Amino acid sequence: MKETVLILGADGYIGWNLMMYLGRKNQGLVVGIDNYSRRKLVNKVKGDSLIPIASMKTRIEAYKEVFKKNNLRFFAFDITNSHLLRKAIKKIRPTIIINLAQMPSAPYSMKNLGYAAWTIKNNVIGNLNLLWIMREICPKAHLIKMGTMGEYGTPNVDIPKGFFELKYKGRKDWVPFPRQAGSFYHWAKVTESQHTNFACKIWGLRATDMMQGVVYGVTTEESQKDSRLAGRFDYDGVFGTAINRFVVQSMCGIPMTPFGKGGQIRGFLNIKDSLKCFELYINNPPKEGEYRVFNQLVEQHRTVTQLADMVKQIGKKKGYNSSIKKIKNPRIENEKHYYNAETTKLTKLGLIASDFRKEIEKMFDDLKPYIHRVNKESIIPKITWK
* Residues with catalytic roles: 148, 185, 189
> Of the candidates 47, 52, 56, which has an alpha carbon nearest to the alpha carbon of residue 9?
56
Asked if 252 and 374 touch (Cβ cutoff 8 Å), the reply is: yes
> Of the candidates 22, 20, 21, 52, which has an alpha carbon nearest to the alpha carbon of residue 39?
52
Asked if 108 and 384 touch (Cβ cutoff 8 Å), the reply is: no
> Of the candidates 58, 64, 100, 60, which has an alpha carbon nearest to the alpha carbon of residue 79?
100
> Of the candidates 147, 134, 61, 50, which has an alpha carbon nearest to the alpha carbon of residue 102?
147
Separation between Cα atoms, residue 1 and residue 281, nearest integer Å = 12
Half-sphere exposure (CA, 13 Å, Cβ side) for 256?
Answer: 28
Who's near 173: CB < 8 A, 6+ residues apart? Answer: 165, 166
Asked if 178 and 109 touch (Cβ cutoff 8 Å), the reply is: no
How many other C-beta atoms are found inside a 10 Å radius of the C-beta of residue 365?
A: 11
Q: Where are the beta strands (DSSP E) in the chain?
A: 5-8, 30-34, 72-76, 96-99, 142-148, 163-168, 171-176, 206-212, 214-216, 268-270, 291-296
State the maximum Cα–Cα separation within the chain, in Å, rounded to a whole number.
65
Separation between Cα atoms, residue 278 and residue 346, nearest integer Å = 11
Residue type, 238: V
Asked if 190 and 24 touch (Cβ cutoff 8 Å), the reply is: no
β-pair partners for 145? 99, 209
Separation between Cα atoms, residue 146 and residue 15, nearest integer Å = 11
